[in-house]
Structures are given as structure tokens and as C-alpha cells.
Amino acid sequence: MAQHCEICGKSPQFGNKVSHAHNISRRRWNVNLRPVRAVLGGTQRRIRVCASCLKAGKVVKPKVRTAVKA
């Protein structure tokens, strides 16, 4: 599964892991993705968005339906 946000397109960044002895090896910083139920084009879908998009309010969540007792 691709590690990218479906709203902003943020994806993993790559760099070096540097030890105290200055040994260098490659590493990657993954995106903080969260599966959420969102409204896209008038329909509900489960999408994976980064936490910064959730905090910024870029995701429109569906209204919560409550059960009505008859």
C-alpha cells in the first residue's frame, strides 16, 4: 500500500541515519497516516490522510447518524 496522503500527497522523506561514531546509513521518515471515513464527491469513502491534514480541517467527515428507538 502506498505511503502517501490522499489529500495533500505527502510521502516519505529519505535521509541518513548518523550514529555517534558518524557511521552513515540510509533511513526514511514515514508519514503519520490515519484511515478516516470522509465525504468525497458526495459519497463516503475510507481514505488515508496525514495527521496534519486532519488537524488543519482539510477532511470533511460525514455526519454521525444516531439510532432512533421506535
Instruction: Answer whether residue 57 shows pLDDT above 90.
Output: yes
State which residues form the domain around 37.
Answer: 13-56
Residue 19 falls within a domain, yes or no?
yes
Asked whether residue 66 is assigned to any structural domain, the reply reads no
Q: What is the mean pLDDT of residues 5-13?
A: 96
The mean per-residue pLDDT over the stretch 9-13 comes to 96
DSSP 44: E
Q: Read off the pLDDT of each residue in 3-32 and give the average, rounded to a whole number.
A: 97
pLDDT (0 to 100) of residue 34: 96
Q: How many domains does the chain have?
A: 1
Please report whether residue 62 resides in a domain.
no
User: Does 66 have pLDDT greater than 90?
Assistant: no
Residue 50: inside a domain: yes
pLDDT at 67: 81
Residue 38 contacts residue 25 (beta carbons within 8 Å): no
Residue 33, beta-bridge partner list? 50
Residue 28: pLDDT above 90?
A: yes
In a domain? residue 35: yes
